[in-house]
Amino acid sequence: MNERFTKGLEAIKQYVTEEEAARMIESDALADIAPDLRKMIIEFAYGDVYSRPGLDAKSRALVVITAVVTQGAAPQTKTHIQRGLHAGLTQTEVVEALLQLVPYIGFPRVQNALTIAQQVFTEKS
């Protein structure tokens, strides 16, 4: 483990439980075909980008949720809504952020994201 990896792991812990952070490292479903992907995510995304100053964890989570929704990335939308709730976002904040996207990305993508959010909220209850 290098400094970027360690920094990334610390950043991840703002968005997931200790157990989930450990699981992210230990059970990488793509390790057999892309063994460096998980390392890249932890070092670059979390170690370099998420660790930057200027935004708190909730704000950063909201930005990421809207980014993955605009891409139509359903699995990542679910993951990042879960992480946003862990970082302190409320269900209302998630829903309102998604509704703000309607004029920019359209009803279908927002409706899909709201359906995913509803599933996450139900699982969390």
- pLDDT tens by residue, 2-23: 999 999 999 999 999 999 888 8
Residue 114 near residue 74 (C-beta atoms within 8 A): no
* Cα 42 to Cα 64, 70, 103, distances in angstroms: 15, 22, 33
The alpha helices in 13-90, defined as continuous H runs, are: 18-26, 37-40, 57-70, 74-86
Integer distance in angstroms from the first to the last C-alpha of the chain? 36
Can you tell me the mean pLDDT for 36-40?
91
Mean pLDDT over all residues of the chain? 94
